Amino acid sequence: MTPEDFDRLQGLLATRAGYRLTRDRIHLAEHRLGPIARREGYANVEALLTNLWANPVASLGWAVIEALLNVETWFRRDRAPFAVLEKELLPALSGARPGGRVNVWSAGCSTGQEAWSVAMAGLDAGVAVDLVATDLSQRAIEKARSGLYTGFEIQRGLTAHTMLRWFEPAEDNWRVRDELADRVRFARANLLDEPADEARFDVIFCRNVLGDMEPARRARVLDGLERRLVDDGCLFLGLDEKLEGETVAFRPVSGRQGLYVKSPSALRRAA
C-alpha cells in the first residue's frame, strides 16, 4: 500500500464513517484488506485499491470501510455501567414510565456483546426493556444477530455461571438462548446520518465509539444522540471518553464514571 493509498483510505473512512484511521494503522489496514482483495478476485491489496479509486462502487467501498473499523468489544465491558443500569437506572426509569417499559439504544454495538449485556441486566432487574442495537458494519450486525460467540469471546467479561444461564453450546461456539435472543432488535445504521424517524430512548449506550472518531465529526454524532435521548434520559460513554467543549448538551454525573445526562442549557433549548 502506498502512502497515497493510505491517505485516500483515511479520507474515505473520515467522510463516510467519521472514523479516524491513524497512521500507525497502516500495517493493520494492509493486513485486514488482504482477505477482501482475495474475496473480490484482485491480485493484491494495491490492485483492489487502484480499482476502488478508479471505479468507486459503493458495496466495495463499504466492504473496505467495515474491514478497517475497530470492532473490539466484550461482555459487560468495564462492568460498572451495567451494574448502574441494572440496580439504579432501570428500576427508577421503569417506575416513571407508563407501563414500566424502558427504551434503550446500543449505538455502535459492534458484534452485540454490549446489547446482550443490557438485555441480561433488564431481565435480572425484572424490567421490560425495548432494546435497539445498531452498528455501521453489516458484518458486525450479522454476527450480533446470529448470537454466536467463540470460546474466547464468550468468556471475555462473563462468568461461567452467567454464561451457562444465557448461552448454550452450538458445536464449537456458544449461542444466545431463546429467552434472551428475542430481546434485542439489531439494525445497520450510520451515526452520521440524520435521524430518519422519531424514535426516542431513555438510555443510550454509545461507548468507545466517539473516541475513534474524527474530532470534526463528533459534534454531529452528539447532536444526533441528544435528539434521540428523552429529556430525563441517560447517556453512557466509554470510561476514557470525555466531552471537551464540543457540546453543551450533556453534563457528567458525578460519582458515575461515563454517565451523562442532558444539561440545563440543552433542556432550555428544547423548550
Partner 1 sequence: MDFKTCLIVDDSRIIRKVARRIVEGLDYEVDEAADGAEALAYCTGVMPDLLLIDWNMPVMDGLTFLRRLRAMPGGDGPKVLFCTIETRPERIAEALAAGADDYVMKPFDGEILQSKLTEVGAIAA
**Residues forming the site for partner 1 (CB under 8 A):** 74, 79-80, 151-152, 155-157, 159-161, 164, 168-169
Query: 54 or 160: whose CB is closer to partner 1?
Result: 160
CB atoms within 10 A of CB 161: 8
What's the closest the beta carbon of residue 169 comes to partner 1, in angstroms? 6
What's the closest the beta carbon of residue 116 comes to partner 1, in angstroms? 15
Query: 79 or 87: whose CB is closer to partner 1?
Result: 79
What's the closest the beta carbon of residue 24 comes to partner 1, in angstroms? 21
Contact between 182 and 209 under an 8 Å Cβ cutoff? The reply is no
Q: How many residues appear in the chain?
A: 271
Residue 49 to residue 36: CA distance in whole angstroms: 11
Contact between 133 and 103 under an 8 Å Cβ cutoff? The reply is no
Residue 78 to residue 96: CA distance in whole angstroms: 27
Assigned C-alpha cell, 239: 470510561
Query: 16 or 156: whose CB is closer to partner 1?
Result: 156
Query: 105 or 166: whose CB is closer to partner 1?
Result: 166
- Spatial neighbors of 96 by CB under 8 A, at least 6 apart, are 232
What's the closest the beta carbon of residue 241 comes to partner 1, in angstroms? 18
